[in-house]
C-alpha cells in the first residue's frame, strides 16, 4: 500500500506543496516549476517519502548492484575542466597512459571470475582516434569475451568521432562492431550554456551530449545519464538539465539509469567553493527520483558519496548503488572522495542493502536481475 503523506505539517501549511504531493501520489507528471519548488520549499521528510513512493512503484523493495571493474586508459586530456581533479598534463608524475598490453593484463585478472561489466572511461587523449578506442574494446573482449563493455563518455566519443570525420551514427556503429555494448553517462555536467562556459568552456556542449546519446539509442546502444551538482549551478539549472534528460527519454527510451554526481572540491581550481552537505545530497537524489518519471533506476555512486552515505541515500529514492569496482577507479579518489581505495565485496554490498531494510539483487549492465539475495 502506498503511504499517506498529506498529514505532514509542511504539506498542510503550503498549498503548492499539497498540490505537488497530490500529483506524485496520483502518478501525474510534474512540471519543471514543480521540481524547482520541491528543491526550494519541501522539507527532507516529505521529499524522502515522495521519492520512496516513486521508487517503490518502479522497483519494489529491490536495491541493485553489479560485479564490475573499471579501466581508465589515461588521464591526459585535451580539455581542462575547472571542476576536474583527474586531468594531468603530460610529464606530471600523476599522469598515465596505458598501453594495450597493460589493458590486457588488467582484463586477465578477471578471467574465471563472476565479473559481468567493465566500465572504460578516461581523459580525451590528443593522439587517440576512433580505431584505437575500438582496439581497447577488442583487447578486453579478447580476454573476456562475455564481458559487457560500457565505454567512453559522450565527450570522448564527440572528440574521436569528429576527428575521424564521421557522423555520430557512423562512429557509434563502428564502435559497436568493435564490441561496444553501452555508453556511460559522464560528461553531461550541467547543460546550461552559461554555467558550462564557466566550468568546462572548451568541451562538447550539452546539446552535443544529448545528440550523441540520441544517436546511441537509435543505434540500439543503451546508456546512462548524469548531472554534476553542488558547484555554481542553482536549482533552475538542475531542473533544466533534468527536463532535457526526461525529454530525450520520452523520445528514445534508451536511458537505463540516472546518476547524480556530487562536485568534489579537492585538487581542482573550483575547490574554493567547498562542497554541499549531505542534506543537499539527499534533497537532490529525492527530487531527481520524483521528477524523472520515465527512467526506472536512480544510482548513488558509492565511491563518490561514501559507503555510509550511500546507505542513507537508499531512503531518498535510490535503488542502485553500482558495484564491486575492485579499486580500479581514481576519478573521485583524486578529487577527495571518502573512498580512497574503492572496493566492495558482494557480501558487503548485500549487507549494506539489508541494513537499509531493502532486498539486495544483483543485476547485469542492462538492469536485468541475475540473482536476488533473500
* Of the candidate ranges 116-120, 122-126, 278-282, the one whose mean pLDDT is the lowest: 122-126
Pick 232 or 301 by higher pLDDT.
Answer: 232
Over the chain, what HEC string results?
A: CCCCCCCCHHHHCCHHHHHHHHHHHHCCCCCHHHHHHHHHHCCHHHHHHHHHHHHHHHHCCEEEEEEEEEECCECCCCCCCCCCCCCCCCCCCCCCECCHHHHHHHHHCCCCCCCCEEEECCCCCCCCCHHHHHHHHHHHHHHCCCCEEEECCHHHHHHHHHHCCCCHHHHHHHHHHHCCCEECCCCCCCCCHHHHHHHCCCCCCHHHHHHHHHHHHHCCCEEEEEEEECCCCCHHHHHHHHHHHHHHHHHHCCEEEEEEEECCCCCCCCHHHCCCCHHHHHHHHHHHHHHCCCCCEEECCHHHHCHHHHHHHHHHCCCEEEEEECCCCCCCHHHCCCCCCCCCCHHHHHHHHHHCCCEEEEECCCCCEEEECC
* Of the candidate ranges 71-85, 124-138, 211-225, the one whose mean pLDDT is the lowest: 71-85
What's the mean pLDDT in 280-289?
A: 98
What's the mean pLDDT in 167-185?
A: 97
Global confidence as pTM: 0.93
What's the mean pLDDT in 57-81?
A: 92
* Of the candidate ranges 4-13, 52-61, 252-261, the one whose mean pLDDT is the lowest: 4-13
pLDDT computed for residue 325 by the predictor: 83
pLDDT in tens, 142-165: 999 999 999 999 999 999 999 999
Reported confidence tier of residue 93, pLDDT bands at 50, 70, 90: confident
Which domains does the chain show, CATH number per domain? 55-372 (3.20.20.70)
pLDDT computed for residue 198 by the predictor: 95
Residue 260 reports pLDDT greater than 50:
yes
What's the mean pLDDT in 158-176?
A: 97
Residue 89 reports pLDDT greater than 80:
no
Residue 1 reports pLDDT greater than 50:
no
What's the mean pLDDT in 81-101?
A: 78
What's the mean pLDDT in 120-129?
A: 91
Residue 68 reports pLDDT greater than 70:
yes
pLDDT computed for residue 280 by the predictor: 97
pLDDT computed for residue 342 by the predictor: 59
pLDDT in tens, 327-367: 555 454 454 445 446 578 899 999 999 999 999 999 999 99
pLDDT computed for residue 344 by the predictor: 85
* Of the candidate ranges 32-36, 83-87, 114-118, the one whose mean pLDDT is the lowest: 83-87
pLDDT computed for residue 96 by the predictor: 84
pLDDT computed for residue 335 by the predictor: 43
What's the mean pLDDT in 273-297?
A: 97
Residue 262 reports pLDDT greater than 80:
yes
What's the mean pLDDT in 250-261?
A: 97
What's the mean pLDDT in 198-217?
A: 96
Amino acid at each position: 500500500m502506498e503511504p499517506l503523506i498529506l498529514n505532514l505539517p509542511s504539506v498542510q501549511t503550503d498549498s503548492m506543496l499539497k498540490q505537488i504531493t497530490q500529483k506524485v501520489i496520483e502518478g501525474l507528471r510534474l512540471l519543471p516549476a514543480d521540481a524547482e519548488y520541491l528543491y526550494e520549499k519541501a522539507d527532507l521528510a516529505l521529499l524522502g517519502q515522495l521519492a520512496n513512493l516513486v521508487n517503490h512503484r518502479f522497483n519494489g523493495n529491490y536495491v541493485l548492484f553489479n560485479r564490475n571493474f573499471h579501466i581508465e586508459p589515461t588521464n591526459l586530456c585535451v580539455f581542462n575542466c575547472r571542476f576536474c581533479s583527474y586531468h594531468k598534463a603530460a610529464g606530471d608524475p600523476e599522469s598515465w597512459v596505458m598501453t594495450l598490453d597493460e589493458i590486457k593484463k588488467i582484463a586477465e585478472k578477471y578471467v574465471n571470475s563472476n565479473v559481468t561489466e567493465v566500465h572504460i572511461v578516461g581523459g580525451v587523449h590528443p593522439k587517440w582516434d576512433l580505431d584505437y578506442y575500438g582496439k581497447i574494446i577488442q583487447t578486453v573482449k579478447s580476454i573476456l569475451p562475455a564481458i559487457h563493455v560500457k565505454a567512453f563518455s559522450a565527450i570522448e566519443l564527440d572528440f574521436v568521432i569528429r576527428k575521424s570525420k564521421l557522423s555520430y551514427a557512423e562512429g557509434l556503429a563502428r564502435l559497436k562492431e568493435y564490441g561496444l555494448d553501452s555508453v556511460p553517462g559522464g560528461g553531461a555536467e550541467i547543460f546550461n550554456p552559461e554555467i558550462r562556459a564557466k566550468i568546462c568552456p572548451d568541451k562538447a556542449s550539452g546539446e552535443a551530449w544529448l545528440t550523441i546519446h540520441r544517436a546511441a539509442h537509435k543505434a540500439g546502444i543503451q546508456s546512462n545519464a548524469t548531472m554534476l551538482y553542488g558547484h555554481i549551478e542553482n536549482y533552475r539549472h538542475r531542473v533544466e538539465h533534468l527536463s532535457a534528460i526526461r525529454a530525450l527519454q520520452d523520445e528514445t527510451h534508451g536511458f537505463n539509469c540516472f546518476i547524480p554526481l556530487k562536485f568534489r572540491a579537492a585538487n581542482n581550481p573550483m575547490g574554493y567553493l567547498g562542497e554541499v552537505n549531505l542534506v543537499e545530497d539527499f534533497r537532490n537524489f529525492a527530487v531527481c527520483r520524483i521528477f524523472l518519471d520515465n527512467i526506472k533506476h536512480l544510482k548513488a555512486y558509492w565511491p563518490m558519496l561514501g559507503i555510509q552515505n550511500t546507505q542513507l541515500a537508499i531512503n531518498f529514492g535510490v535503488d542502485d548503488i553500482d558495484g564491486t569496482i575492485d579499486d580500479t577507479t581514481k576519478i573521485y579518489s583524486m578529487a577527495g572522495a571518502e573512498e580512497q581505495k574503492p572496493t566492495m565485496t558482494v557480501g558487503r554490498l548485500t549487507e549494506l542493502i539489508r541494513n537499509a531494510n531493502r532486498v539486495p539483487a544483483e543485476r547485469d549492465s542492462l538492469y536485468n536481475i541475475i540473482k536476488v539475495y533473500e
